[in-house]
A = this chain, B = another copy of it.
Amino acid sequence: MEWKNMTELSAFDALKALRNRVSLKDRMSGAEGAERVEKYRAPMGGGLTYHYAAKQVDEAVLDALQALADQAQLTEKYQALLNGEVINTGEKRRVLHQLTRGQQGAPVIADGVDKRAFYVGEQQKAAKFAQDVHAGRIVNEQGETFTTAVQIGIGGSDLGPRAMYLALEGWARAEGCFKMQARFISNVDPDDAAAVLGGIDVSRALFVLVSKSGTTLETLTNEAFVKDALTRAGLDPAKHMVAVTSETSPLASSSDYLAAFFMDDYIGGRYSSTSCVGGVILSLAFGPDVFARFLNGAAEEDALARNADVRKNAAMLDALIGVYERNVQGYPCTAVLPYSQALSRFPAHLQQLDMESNGKSVNRFGAPVDYPTGPVIFGEPGTNGQHSFYQLLHQGTDIVPMQFVGFRQNQLRTDVNIQGSTSQQKLCANLAAQIMAFACGKQDENPNKSFAGGRPSSVIIGERVTPEALGALLAHFENKVMFQGFVWNLNSFDQEGVQLGKVLAKRVLAHDTDGALKAFSDLMDI
């Protein structure tokens, strides 16, 4: 297995020669367009399908992407990761988030422990705890059941679990498996915690403190804020709080918590939704069976990602098309556009997942790379985006590749029929229409009403946002980001770029500043 920069691979040179090869406007018109929709699809987990007919590919581009995948040894590297090799070389760590949802490689023994057994054991602890809460075996000091779970965490301990909770809340209510509401406190802005606490009955709230190191300043500050509020309400914080942390953290054996659930250094924050970081809060909210179904969807997707054939490996193909768009076509951004209100915060999670993993300028050996890496990721749910920033996507001077997601059915079973169609049909019709409007555009006598077309998009289509579909969707993007990192020869699993700000903030708070930093601190009255 060799780790080479992308520009050292002859397959990349071959791909570069295919710049602007496919005119979407031509290829997506008429009978050929329909044939492409039929042909250009790849299976995913959870009943999803990845459709790439409206991407700028044809057989020649796909062959070139296959050659790049082969030369960059993408599936070999993935298998090495699954087998527990030290892929996070900067921090000298294995990368084991896939192991939380299945055993796709050899057994991984680390620190004298079988890691799959460790993760499953923690899942079982979380499941039992959630069941005890639901059954009223774990209650507040007045003997009342808990009705709200509040996650306190930031970054990966917040965005992923929050997005997953919002994605399944409606489904769980419709299916009768909704157990208790969840809320999230993340920002060190004290108004965040105050607003959350103001909206719940704290006497019946269970707080889930999430910090791997046990030293994240924002999270510890918010914990103190919550403990203060509990104490002032005459409640014992230790009876209202559990910790999700590493076994070596100061939180692990503290009597301040009802229980502690463990993760480890082999799972980065942004990849931790399927670990206890997501597991505790989602099991509390929806029950452990729902969380298990979510893991199954992710495991199914992880297995499909092992296929060396790009045409049958949606995550790898999505990654390679992204490389083509970023490094051959030169597009700097990607929009993520789910046509489902349940996925309202999914783009924010992907923004972290992608930009924190691949927003880097040095390769895994610390040498500068001479090509653009991770793009800017942004998005909002359709149809809202259509009435907002889609103007630029349709008629702006830059081309922004798009990643749509859509479902045939809504989550809740309520709908209305207006002007001959349901809301869900209108939603789906808009999605289909947008793909074609972007691809083919439309000429008009009035140049202001003309659409150039040629704006590439893919779409992931499923039946409904179920736990399995959501797990597969999450794993798809995690694996896409991983494959792109392999192509770009990055370490996608560290985040050194977040450190400098922390160091300087501590200096500001210690009044150990001069020059412009002191001047800005003075302006902020610190």
A357 to B390, CA, bound (A): 11
Q: Are A332 and B186 in contact (CB under 8 A)?
A: no
Interface string of A387-418 (1 = CB under 8 A from B): 11111111111101000001010111011101
Flag A213-233 by CB within 8 Å of B: 1 or 0 each.
000011011101100100000
- Encoded as 1 (CB less than 8 Å from any B CB) or 0, chain A from 429 to 442 comes to 11111111101011
Interface centre among A38, A367, A430, A516 (most CB of B within 10 A): A516
Q: How far is the CA of A377 from the CA of B358 in the complex (A)?
A: 20
Q: How far is the CA of A425 from the CA of B131 in the complex (A)?
A: 40
Query: Closest residue of chain B to A367, judged by CB?
Result: B447
- Per-position 1/0 for A50-86, Cβ under 8 A of B: 0101100000000000000000000000000000000
Q: Tell whether A187 is near chain B: CB-to-CB under 8 Å.
A: yes
Asked if A192 meets B341 with Cβ closer than 8 Å, knowing A387-B156, A389-B359, the reply is yes
User: For the complex, what is the distance from the CA of A30 to the CA of B514, rounded to whole Å?
Assistant: 8
Q: Which of B30, B189, B509 contacts A515 (CB 8 A)?
A: B30
Report whether B516 and A37 are in contact in the complex, using a CB–CB cutoff of 8 Å: yes
The count of residues in chain A whose C-beta lies closer than 8 Å to any C-beta of chain B is 158
Q: Are A412 and B195 in contact (CB under 8 A)?
A: yes
Candidates B422, B433, B519; contact of A501 at CB < 8 Å = B433
Q: Does A420 contact B (CB under 8 A)?
A: yes
Docked-complex contact A497 and B394, CB < 8 angstroms: yes
Is B516's CB under 8 angstroms from A423's CB?
no
Q: Indicate with 1 or 0, residue by residue over A331-346, a CB within 8 angstroms of chain B CB atoms.
A: 0110000011110000
Task: List residues of chain B with CB within 8 A of the CB of A388.
Answer: 155, 159, 270, 348, 351-352, 355-356
Would you list 26 pairs from A and B whose C-beta atoms are within 8 A, ordered by A residue?
A158-B384, A169-B195, A187-B381, A189-B427, A194-B412, A217-B426, A224-B418, A225-B416, A270-B388, A332-B333, A351-B378, A352-B387, A356-B391, A362-B395, A373-B396, A377-B389, A386-B501, A387-B498, A426-B509, A432-B521, A432-B523, A433-B502, A433-B508, A436-B516, A436-B517, A449-B496
